[in-house]
Structure 1
């Protein structure tokens, strides 16, 4: 909005209108400035705050490991006086009871008292424990199937060969599981696993390991389908998605895909079904993804504010439940960035609802329903009315207004 200061109107009504127009522009710009300032502060917290250091976390972990190793070398270089009774330091956690124990007895060489030559009598034991590692090893399983022949009719009898996970493959199910866990849980790429096997004297190329992974995953697809059917048959699910970088062949870079997760968690209210979760990959965040995934689902779907879930709820039998954690996070970000007393008040009111939920967590459904009707319903309604009154007084583009609308 440009104003010719040398040619201002002289009419009072026009001047009033000009001031109102300028005030509206300033209000919009103030809201945009506040929004951008909050984004900057949020990014600064992510970059420099306690939860995310400026140094890459992986590099920081390596640096701390090197520091611990240096400290260990210094400690080991000092002379150590071994006590007669070895007791673990007070801060050390006991070793897990489920681990197998191998007893090593260290007895005295003296059959008689070294002081006077008298008879030695047992008076107890001093017991200490050390944690040991049994190195993993490869072994060859020889499958022997004897053959038998009938001299009367010439019939040959032999037990049929057992089925292998990968037809004609060398790997046992245990070895396949090890390769998969190392790749997908421990993030050890196949070329590095190939090097590890080479140290054991076995040449397994990366292409061979890749074939094993593909063959094993083919079998796991059936298990994944069963898990999906079990989870989507629930009447209450949590749904969310998270970005994941994926290779973009031909471009020499990565692109952003999405992992959609659908979880069943009933322990909070003593539900009968065990917790379970399924992950489904998609190349994007289009609404058609959850619509397709949840095509058979009927019940309550606990989600964030992603608009794509509205299409899921358009189908009969599906009810969306909003997530208080996401709502609270919006006000938390505003309070942290601006110190807004309105955001602080909203956080306190939400905390009161959380306290009520903490008291009824794990109780029977009718108990929780009664408590929510008696204690929570009025608080939620008062919160709604209060937020609506605050929203009417805020710039439309402010971050606090965005949090309230969310």
Structure 2
């Protein structure tokens, strides 16, 4: 016992020392946000171990029970109601009163819920097609046709393929790691085989994404952005930089009826020619950052007429925020304060109708913007050319018409964050896969990511959606409608009901 207590004490001191160095010690290098997140996770793990050691020490020294219970009584997150409940009842060891021997009667109970998991279980689906013959004539033989599948005559069910897709494109788990996970279950499936499944699924799903893209291009408003996507260049073993473009339609901030949707498209470049290829003759509202490739869509002499360019205040705010990182930047801090007042108005009116938002902005935001414009002009005249604050000021003034368009149209958002958020999944995939093997691989990535991320927006489980849609789309003929299979129109007819409660009676030891 003494040795165990000494070991716990030594461990306790060690953890405290590590945490002090993490919190207060000097750092010789800057850490990225992801590295910092990992460090914080490790710190929280260490804190939990310290808490356990403290509890064990309190048990040894006989601390009051109320003190030891205090931590256990802290509020916990409630578990979702749709999860099945498996009840385990622990009855007293004896059913007679220890004092008088009389029978014990139930007067109440204590209930405690813990989250449990049943490990993923792979199973084999056996399809049997009996052959039926006529005994009278011996000529007639009947047998049902084999069902169509994504991989004809292959191993995977559509549910298994959906699981592979979600793990790769939603959970960012490369195929070789999935192959290793299957191997631990005694299932030998090579990475190349998994890749074949993914490619065949992408081929079936691409028409859905093309239909979703066509629908987006008819919307009144689009968010558009682009980010880098490394692709392996053929022949030399090096990578080249392509771009993943994203289009987002999301009318929920002003109560629009259309379901939100995302479409990713891989392009070899980022210039205006690729933006034109992506958007064609779109003439609605384009919510974009200040990248010059989008400027062509707002020109009056554009064939078919100009689109309405609405620029992003988050980019202006980011510029002022970067300028405040230096010492003594009162102008940048004042700029942040003024932009913050505009965002406060937006937080209050989010979800209202487009007309209500326009009226509120005209009354409350317009005077603030007029004051801000005058303030920016004044500061620009007085500022020397090398000032870091001058850059966001010039950025805002050059794009003032697009930045203030949201005041006159309640459908327009103050920023481009709807599409900026959609780029996070691209960044995570880049960090896990590093690069796509070829341009077709990047296109398949864009196809499946479009459906996975749209499912997240509309509240569907991506694995349930993909499993059902793959099973249904393989039996559709060319020319059959696909509208009901779009994430915004799809309904999960196979959604499981809450499983019945099971009751297990146990005697206390």
Judge same fold: TM > 0.5, yes or no: yes
Which one of the candidate residues 297, 308, 313 is aligned to 1:312?
297
2:142 paired residue number = 157
2:94 paired residue number = 110
1:175 paired residue number = 160
2:320 paired residue number = 331
Deviations 1:336-385 (A, max 9, x none): 32533322332222222223333332222222222222332233233223
Moved more, 251-260 or 57-66: 57-66
Aligned 1:31-42 pairs, distance under 5 A: none
Moved more, 337-346 or 234-243: 337-346
The question of whether the paired residues in 1 share the 8 Å contact of 2:297 and 2:306 is answered with no
Residues 95 and 63 of structure 1: is their aligned pair in 2 closer, same or farther, counting only changes over 3 Å?
same
Which one of the candidate residues 44, 49, 73 is aligned to 1:89?
73
Q: Does structure 1 residue 56 correspond to structure 2 residue 35?
A: yes
Q: Measure, in 1, the Cα distance between the counterparts of 2:49 and 2:340.
A: 46
Displacement of 1:65 in angstroms is: 7.6
Residues 264 and 103 of structure 1: is their aligned pair in 2 closer, same or farther, counting only changes over 3 Å?
same
For CA contacts below 8 A with separation 6 or more, give which structure has more relative contact order. Answer: 2
Displacement of 1:102 in angstroms is: 0.6
Q: Measure, in 1, the Cα distance between the counterparts of 2:204 and 2:385.
A: 54
The question of whether the paired residues in 1 share the 8 Å contact of 2:222 and 2:287 is answered with yes
2:369 paired residue number = 380
Count of aligned pairs = 356
Q: Measure, in 2, the Cα distance between the counterparts of 1:367 and 1:206.
A: 54
2:285 paired residue number = 300
Which one of the candidate residues 390, 394, 408 is aligned to 1:405?
394
The question of whether the paired residues in 1 share the 8 Å contact of 2:298 and 2:308 is answered with yes
User: Gapped runs of 5+ residues in structure 2?
Assistant: 1-28, 396-509
The question of whether the paired residues in 2 share the 8 Å contact of 1:258 and 1:282 is answered with yes
Flag the structure with larger Rg: 1
Q: Which SS does the other structure have where 2:165 is aligned?
A: helix
The question of whether the paired residues in 2 share the 8 Å contact of 1:238 and 1:263 is answered with yes
Displacement of 1:221 in angstroms is: 0.9
Normalising to structure 1: TM-score of the pair? 0.78
Q: Which SS does the other structure have where 2:309 is aligned?
A: strand
Which one of the candidate residues 248, 251, 267 is aligned to 1:263?
248
Moved more, 386-395 or 326-335: 386-395
The question of whether the paired residues in 2 share the 8 Å contact of 1:183 and 1:189 is answered with yes
Residues 394 and 69 of structure 1: is their aligned pair in 2 closer, same or farther, counting only changes over 3 Å?
closer
The question of whether the paired residues in 2 share the 8 Å contact of 1:294 and 1:312 is answered with no
Aligned 1:2-401 pairs, distance under 5 A: 48=30, 52=32, 56-57=35-36, 60=39, 63-64=42-43, 67=46, 71=50, 74=53, 88-150=72-134, 151-152=136-137, 154-314=139-299, 315=302, 316-401=305-390
Residues 131 and 370 of structure 1: is their aligned pair in 2 closer, same or farther, counting only changes over 3 Å?
closer
Q: Measure, in 1, the Cα distance between the counterparts of 2:247 and 2:175.
A: 29
Normalising to structure 2: TM-score of the pair? 0.63
Q: RMSD across aligned C-alpha pairs, in angstroms?
A: 2.9
Moved more, 55-64 or 253-262: 55-64
Q: Which SS does the other structure have where 1:103 is aligned?
A: strand
User: Gapped runs of 5+ residues in structure 1?
Assistant: 1-46
Q: Measure, in 2, the Cα distance between the counterparts of 1:334 and 1:146.
A: 75
The question of whether the paired residues in 1 share the 8 Å contact of 2:249 and 2:260 is answered with yes
Residues 77 and 340 of structure 1: is their aligned pair in 2 closer, same or farther, counting only changes over 3 Å?
closer
